[in-house]
C-alpha cells in the first residue's frame, strides 16, 4: 500500500503542470495525496475492519471531498449521489486502489475475487475489473516469489491480454500530452515502468517521467515495486508527512496486521 501512496504523492504535482525533467525532486511543498491515496486507504480499512468496499469508499471520499486534483467527474457524482450505483467505468482508478488486496489475502483465487470486489462498486466494466485483478495478482505473485520479474510480461499477455508497450513508446505518448486515463492504457504502461526499474525509487521516477496521469501511473507502478523491492525508510518518512492522522492510523494497523501474519 505504501508503494501506491508514495507514487501518488510524488506524481501528484506533475499531472497538471509542465512535464517532469530528469532528476526531479521527489517531494516538494507542491506535492500532496490525491484521490488515489484516499481510495487505497478506504480499501485497506474495509479489509481490516470487515467493512463493505462501497461503504468504505463513500466514507473516506466524503470525509475528504476536495483532494489535490479533485475526483474524476463520474466518480465524484457517484461519491456524492444519494443512491450511488456502479457506472460501468473502465478508468484506471480500479487498479490504483487495489494494492491492499495483494498483501492482506494469501490465496491466489481469493486475491482475484477480492480485487474484483474492490472494483465493482464503480468500475464494473470488464476492463475495470480486469485492471484491478491484474495488478493485485501480479503484486501478490511478486511478493510471494511465485513468479520472477522475467515472467511478468508473459503472464500478463497470456492471462489478461495486455500488450505491454516499450518504455520508448510510453515516453513518446507522454510527450504528446496524452492523458492515459483508462485501465487499458495505464495498467500496461505501469507494468513496463516497473519492469524497466532497478529499485523502488527508480520505478517511481520512470513512471512519473512517462507523464500523462502521473499520480495514478506512479501509484500502480509503486504497487508492483513495493512487492519486489524494499522501500527506503527515507521515502516512507517523507510520505507520512503529507498524510492526516486518521490515514496514518489505517496504515499503521495495516502493516501491523501483515507483520502479525508473518510472525504466526
Q: What is the pLDDT of residue 19?
A: 79
pLDDT digit string (tens) for 69-84?
999 999 999 999 999 9
d(CA 213, CA 27): 17
C-alpha distances in angstroms, 196 versus 20, 128, 206? 18, 25, 8
Strand, helix or coil for residue 229: coil
- Per cent of the chain over pLDDT 90 is 90
Q: Copy the grid coordinates of residue 114.
A: 477480492
Phi first, then psi, for residue 133 (nearest 5°) are -65, -40
Predicted pLDDT at 8: 98
In sequence order, the 6+-apart residues with CB closer than 8 A to the CB of 97 are 4, 36, 39, 40, 42, 43, 118, 132
Which value, in Å, is the radius of gyration of the alpha carbons in the chain?
A: 17
Which is nearest to 68 in space by CA: 134, 15, 141?
A: 15
Q: What is the mean pLDDT of the chain?
A: 95
Q: Give me the mean pLDDT over the 109-137 stretch.
A: 98
Q: What is the pLDDT of residue 203?
A: 98
Q: Is there a contact between 37 and 255 (Cβ–Cβ < 8 Å)? A: no
pLDDT score for 178: 85
Q: Lowest-confidence range among 9-18, 109-118, 193-202, 225-234?
A: 9-18
pLDDT at 216 over 80: yes
Q: CA-CA-CA-CA torsion for 23, 177, 98, 228, nearest 10 degrees?
A: -30
Give dist(CA 108, CA 233) in Å, integer: 29
Can you give the pLDDT at residue 263? 66
DSSP 3-state of 170: helix
CA 50 distance to own-chain centroid? 21
Exposure of 168 by Cβ count < 10 A (0-12 exposed, 13-18 middle, 19+ buried)?
Answer: exposed
The pLDDT of 187-194, averaged and rounded, is 98
Query: What's the length of the chain?
Result: 264
Q: What contacts 118, CB < 8 A, 6 or more positions away?
A: 43, 53, 94, 97, 98, 101, 132, 136
- In angstroms, the CA 147 to CA 145 distance is 5
- pLDDT tens-digit readout, 3-60: 999 999 999 999 877 878 889 999 999 999 999 999 999 999 999 999 999 999 999 9
Amino acid at each position: 500500500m505504501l508503494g501506491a501512496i508514495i507514487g501518488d504523492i510524488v506524481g501528484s504535482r506533475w499531472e497538471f503542470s509542465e512535464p517532469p525533467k530528469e532528476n526531479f525532486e521527489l517531494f516538494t511543498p507542491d506535492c500532496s495525496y490525491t484521490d488515489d491515496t484516499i481510495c487505497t486507504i478506504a480499501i485497506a480499512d474495509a479489509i481490516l475492519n470487515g467493512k463493505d468496499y462501497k461503504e468504505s469508499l463513500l466514507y473516506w471520499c466524503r470525509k475528504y471531498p476536495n483532494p489535490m486534483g479533485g475526483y474524476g467527474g463520474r466518480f465524484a457524482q457517484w461519491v456524492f449521489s444519494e443512491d450511488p450505483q456502479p457506472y460501468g467505468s473502465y478508468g484506471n482508478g480500479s487498479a490504483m486502489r487495489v494494492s491492499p488486496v495483494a498483501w492482506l489475502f494469501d490465496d491466489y483465487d481469493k486475491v482475484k475475487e477480492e480485487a474484483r470486489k474492490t472494483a465493482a462498486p464503480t468500475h464494473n466494466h470488464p476492463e475495470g475489473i480486469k485492471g484491478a485483478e491484474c495488478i493485485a495478482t501480479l503484486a501478490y505473485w511478486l511478493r510471494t516469489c511465485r513468479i520472477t520479474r522475467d515472467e511478468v510480461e508473459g503472464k500478463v499477455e497470456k492471462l489478461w491480454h495486455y500488450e505491454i508497450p516499450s518504455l520508448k513508446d510510453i515516453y513518446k505518448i507522454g510527450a504528446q500530452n496524452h492523458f492515459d486515463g483508462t485501465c487499458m492504457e495505464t495498467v500496461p504502461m505501469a507494468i513496463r515502468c516497473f519492469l524497466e526499474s532497478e529499485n523502488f525509487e527508480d520505478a517511481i521516477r520512470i513512471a512519473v517521467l512517462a507523464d500523462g496521469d502521473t499520480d495514478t501511473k506512479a501509484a500502480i507502478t509503486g504497487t508492483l515495486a513495493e512487492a519486489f523491492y524494499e522501500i527506503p525508510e527515507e521515502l516512507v518518512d517523507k510520505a507520512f508527512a503529507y498524510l492526516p492522522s486518521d490515514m496514518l492510523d489505517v496504515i499503521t494497523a495495516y502493516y501491523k496486521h501483515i507483520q502479525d501474519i508473518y510472525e504466526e
